Amino acid sequence: MPTITLPDGKTKSFDRPVTGLDVAQSIGAGLAKAALACKVDGETRDLSFVIANDARVALITLPKPGQPASEDALSLIRHSAAHVMAEAIQDVMGDDVLLAYGPPTDTGFFYDMFVPEGKRLSSERFDEINRRIAEIIKEDRPFTRYELPAEAGLSKLWNEENKYKIDNAERALGKPSSLYKGSKAGADASPAAAHSSAASLSFYATGAPGRNWEDLCRGPHVPSTGRIGAACVLSLASSYWHGDENSDRLTRVYGTAFPTQAELEAFLRQKEEAAKRDHRVIGRNLRLFHIDEDVGQGLILWTPRGSIVRKELQAFIGGELRKQGYTEVFTPHIGRLELYKTSGHFPYYKDSQFAPIIERQALEELSRSGCTCADMLNRVEGVSARLASGINERTGAQTIGPERVLPDDRLVEGFMLKPMNCPHHAKIFASAPHSYRDMPVRLAEFGTVYRWEQSGELNGMTRVRGFTQDDAHLFCTEDQVPGEVQGCLALVKIIFATLGMKEYRVRVGLRDPDSNKYTGSRENWDKAEAACIDAAKSLGVPFSKEPGEAAFYGPKIDFVVKDVIGREWQLGTVQVDYNMAIRFDLSYIGPDNKPHRPVVIHRAPFGSMERFCGVLIEHFAGAFPAWLSPEQVRVLPISEKSLDYGRAVLAALTQGGVRATLDEGNDRIQGKIKVAADLKVPYLLIVGPRDAEQGTVSLRVRGVEKDAGAMPLDAFVGAITSEIADRRADLGVRP
């Protein structure tokens, strides 16, 4: 006799066990029709799930037409669509394609499967698969759940000879895997681990068990295939069983599904739109940057046009920094190895750094002495007893273990390409005594750093091996931390507002309460975390607290920006650091005339110039606001007869500080417009005999289909120079 508590707090009593569907029907026929599944005491269940005891029940429903579906609803639809796609693929490819694991993701779903030797799943089969998916959806077959006791279920799977499903089942039952022999066995990349220990195994038939396609699955699913709406297969990739590279190689088939065909089409259009905005393509077409095989992977060559964009951004941020009392510094691209041993970055991050630079003489000497490579590595990575004891004493812990300490005459010195700027900045701070009266000391630098990113990770400008951070380190007293964090966020806010990035959110990375890996006192952490949270709150944008996401040396704030087509990009960061000042033994003299430890705030609102520009290119689709445009105005003479007037117009623009060019080619005006439009030049000035006579220019604005009309040249120059000076986001000049 269950009593059901609904989300609004109302209760309903039944005189017999009921299903989720019964509950929905008792509320209304419309709700029953819209329901996909239910949540019983917080657990998502099939609509056919029988509720025998008192429970809290919420229904997961399809939205009203025109409304976006909830995450729960999408995830159900997609998980179900993964089954449908798998069935379609087996229909097309044969049953010897073995299914492994098919979960929903943020934007769709995938199914990992083993494709036998000799068969190949390629995108040429997608049409065929998609047609089959559409048929299965149209057939509107019910998802039918049935359970088998552990042994019966396992023997069924053994008969089917699919080791992946057997493995999933064993994990679901909490048994050790009898088939998966990977290095990560027991660790938990495993899909089925989410099952926790069950006593039985559940299967879902898409239709009738024994007659239609079925799959081992925990569920839940939508009531029938028709409820999926629309689904399609999207792409192929490869993956490993259990994510283990030593294990079987599987084919991962990606797809997505939506409640309606219209939403699916909108999603596909958005993907196309995103592809058109690809900064790698736009970067080439607009000649913004170049990556050259001979220079190296992940190393950006900023061409003249791209350099203008970067330079403008740097000038913009530089101006804001001056207003906030920062001072600018310059530091070299390399530093002694010992510097990074002091900071703790080497050898801790040695796998993601370029190899050290060892002097030629030292190498020759090592080679003569018969030193092996392994020996050399040890000798490069080792530290002197003096350095180790100094750091261990200051940090109050065995930060550098005895295994890394080598006698001085065994150590090999060298240099490193800097992987971050903080050690250099710490040394600048340490180079002069500081009074509490001077604090905070804010050192800013567009500092170029180098990191050995894995080759498979490299991507255009967004993931590179050499990049310039808009970096700064704020050396402050503990009391100053909240105010300085606030200042950093204010800066980010100005930047985003100027660039028209209206939507962003903030993630505040906090300590993992169950870990003691963190440096610094509890009180300091409490204060710093509170400062970060307060600062995030004050921004007036959504923020989330992420326990366990702090760096070991302090809490951090990350910015996630949404671009104009809704994609999220992680950009800048603000981090509070208690560790660096200790390792570098930094101090300032307090009012008590005693030395005190400063706290260091690391911050980079853009993150890196490369990544930020890459994101901006996609955000604007290459159509930058006038102040950022490499070429702000192009003068297009109607014919050679108007060239002289064109030159005069160009001179007036250039005198006014506008980046302008003159098209001296002998194309017709239509051709000149087409070429300039393709380059996304904001303003085109068409000049012909009429304009020459009247001292006007005929304006054409990027993105506007037709001629904007004529205006006096000096009026145009005045209008555009003020638009540029104000860094206005939109093209506002009109006659």
Is 323 near RNA (CB under 7 A)? no
Q: Which is nearer to RNA, 51 or 576 (CB)?
A: 576
Closest approach of RNA to the CB of residue 623, in Å: 10
Q: Which of 422, 476, 488, 613 is catalytic?
A: 422
For the question of residue 556 being annotated catalytic, the response is yes
Q: Using CB under 7 A, which residues numbered 121 to 150 contact RNA? A: none
CA–CA distances in Å: residue 459 to residues 10, 297, 298, 300, 467: 53, 9, 7, 11, 13
CA–CA distances in Å: residue 66 to residues 69, 227, 260, 262: 9, 16, 10, 10
Is 615 near RNA (CB under 7 A)? no
For the question of residue 471 being annotated catalytic, the response is yes
Q: Using CB under 7 A, which residues numbered 245 to 304 contact RNA? A: 245, 249, 252, 280, 284-285, 291, 293, 296-298
How does DSSP classify residue 602?
Answer: E
Q: Which of 163, 277, 602, 611 is catalytic?
A: 602
Q: Which stretch binds RNA (CB under 7 A): 234-242, 313-321, 407-415, 624-632?
A: 234-242
Is 118 near RNA (CB under 7 A)? no
Is 414 near RNA (CB under 7 A)? no
How many angstroms separate the CA atoms of 467 and 300, rounded? 8
Residue from 358, 363, 589, 675 binding RNA (CB under 7 A): 675
Is 399 near RNA (CB under 7 A)? no
Given a contact cutoff of 8 angstroms between Cβ atoms, the answer to whether 257 and 81 are in contact is yes
CA–CA distances in Å: residue 591 to residues 433, 440, 597, 600: 14, 14, 13, 19
Residue from 3, 178, 352, 544 binding RNA (CB under 7 A): 352
Is 397 near RNA (CB under 7 A)? no
Please work out, in degrees rounded to the nearest 5, the angle formed at the alpha carbon of residue 476 by the alpha carbons of 471 and 478. 130
Closest approach of RNA to the CB of residue 212, in Å: 30
Closest approach of RNA to the CB of residue 205, in Å: 29
**Number of residues located near RNA, criterion CB under 7 A:** 68
Q: Which stretch binds RNA (CB under 7 A): 63-71, 243-251, 523-531, 535-543?
A: 243-251
Is 598 near RNA (CB under 7 A)? no
Please work out, in degrees rounded to the nearest 5, the angle formed at the alpha carbon of residue 357 by the alpha carbons of 355 and 360. 135
Residue from 125, 702, 727, 728 binding RNA (CB under 7 A): 702
For the question of residue 469 being annotated catalytic, the response is yes
Beta-ladder partners of 43: 40
Given a contact cutoff of 8 angstroms between Cβ atoms, the answer to whether 648 and 654 are in contact is no
For the question of residue 422 being annotated catalytic, the response is yes
Please work out, in degrees rounded to the nearest 5, the angle formed at the alpha carbon of residue 34 by the alpha carbons of 208 and 216. 35
Question: What three-state secondary structure class fits 627?
Answer: helix
Q: How far apart are the first and last CA of the chain?
A: 77
Is 386 near RNA (CB under 7 A)? no
Closest approach of RNA to the CB of residue 513, in Å: 19
Characterize 494-517 residue by residue with b for buried, 16 or more Cβ atoms within 10 angstroms of its Cβ, and e for exposed: bbbebbebeebbbbbbbbeeeeee
Is 673 near RNA (CB under 7 A)? yes
Q: Which of 22, 167, 470, 471 is catalytic?
A: 471
Characterize 292-309 residue by residue with b for buried, 16 or more Cβ atoms within 10 angstroms of its Cβ, and e for exposed: eeeeeebebebbebbebb
Radius of gyration of the chain (CA): 32
Per-residue x/- track, 562-581, RNA (CB under 7 A): -------------x------
Q: Which is nearer to RNA, 37 or 100 (CB)?
A: 100
Would you say how long the chain is, in residues?
735
Given a contact cutoff of 8 angstroms between Cβ atoms, the answer to whether 723 and 699 are in contact is no
Residue 581 has which token pair? 């000042």
Closest approach of RNA to the CB of residue 667, in Å: 6
Is 517 near RNA (CB under 7 A)? no
Is 353 near RNA (CB under 7 A)? yes
Beta-ladder partners of 22: none
Given a contact cutoff of 8 angstroms between Cβ atoms, the answer to whether 610 and 300 are in contact is yes
CA–CA distances in Å: residue 629 to residues 309, 320, 501, 681: 7, 20, 17, 7
Q: Which stretch binds RNA (CB under 7 A): 23-31, 93-101, 230-238, 368-376?
A: 230-238
Q: Which is nearer to RNA, 521 or 666 (CB)?
A: 666
Given a contact cutoff of 8 angstroms between Cβ atoms, the answer to whether 21 and 48 are in contact is yes
Question: What three-state secondary structure class fits 523?
Answer: helix
Per-residue x/- track, 178-197, RNA (CB under 7 A): -----------x--------
Residue from 226, 243, 732, 735 binding RNA (CB under 7 A): 243
Is 375 near RNA (CB under 7 A)? no
Q: Which stretch binds RNA (CB under 7 A): 32-40, 303-311, 536-544, 664-672?
A: 664-672
Residue from 336, 677, 727, 732 binding RNA (CB under 7 A): 677
Closest approach of RNA to the CB of residue 674, in Å: 4
Residue from 170, 618, 691, 723 binding RNA (CB under 7 A): 691
Q: Which is nearer to RNA, 429 or 683 (CB)?
A: 683
Characterize 103-113 residue by residue with b for buried, 16 or more Cβ atoms within 10 angstroms of its Cβ, and e for exposed: ebeeebbbbbb
Given a contact cutoff of 8 angstroms between Cβ atoms, the answer to whether 228 and 222 are in contact is yes
For the question of residue 125 being annotated catalytic, the response is no
Is 162 near RNA (CB under 7 A)? no
Given a contact cutoff of 8 angstroms between Cβ atoms, the answer to whether 596 and 435 are in contact is no
**Active site members:** 422, 451, 469, 471, 473, 556, 602
Residues contributing to the site for RNA (CB under 7 A): 189, 235-240, 243, 245, 249, 252, 280, 284-285, 291, 293, 296-298, 345, 349, 352-353, 419-420, 451-460, 463, 551, 575, 638-641, 666-671, 673-675, 677-678, 684, 686-691, 698, 700, 702-703, 705-707, 710
